[in-house]
Amino acid sequence: MEQPLEEQVIAAWVRLTGILKNTRITKGLVYNEAIVMLVAYNQYRADGKGVVSFKQIVAETKMLKSLVNRTIDSLVAKRFLERFEGKDKRTTLVRILPENIGEYLRVHEQSLTLARELIGVIGEEDAAAFIRISEKIASAAKD
């Protein structure tokens, strides 16, 4: 007897998250550091500065504020980010340190290699569908 669609979705979700959790997308950064750096790096690519607010990181990563704070502390200690106050002193901002971006990019290249391998397995059309579906789920989760 075939399982209901809802059961199949849950089973597929569990299999995929297990694979993603066990396949380290980065070497040299822990997972939380990698996703915080990706937020800052995407901003850096957009504007050449990479200044991101603490609030924006929390919103984009869905991480607990305390975990974002510890993660930023770790990235500051590793000299990937610097922390500073915003204009109103209640806003905490972080910025990629441009002099150390090369080290991050070496780590990030491993993620890109994994993404290329995934595209090789599922093909470009399914990769585009995966992105669309992931974005749709993420957008629904924001509501």
Domain ranges of the chain: 24-142
Q: What is the mean pLDDT of residues 69-84?
A: 95
Contact between 34 and 78 (Cβ < 8 Å): no
Four-way CATH pick for 24-142: 3.90.1150.10, 1.10.287.1080, 1.10.10.10, 3.90.1580.10: 1.10.10.10
Phi, psi of 85 (to 5 degrees): -85, 150
Q: What is the mean pLDDT of residues 99-119?
A: 87
For the chain, give the number of residues: 143
Please give the model's pTM, rounded to 2 decimal places: 0.78
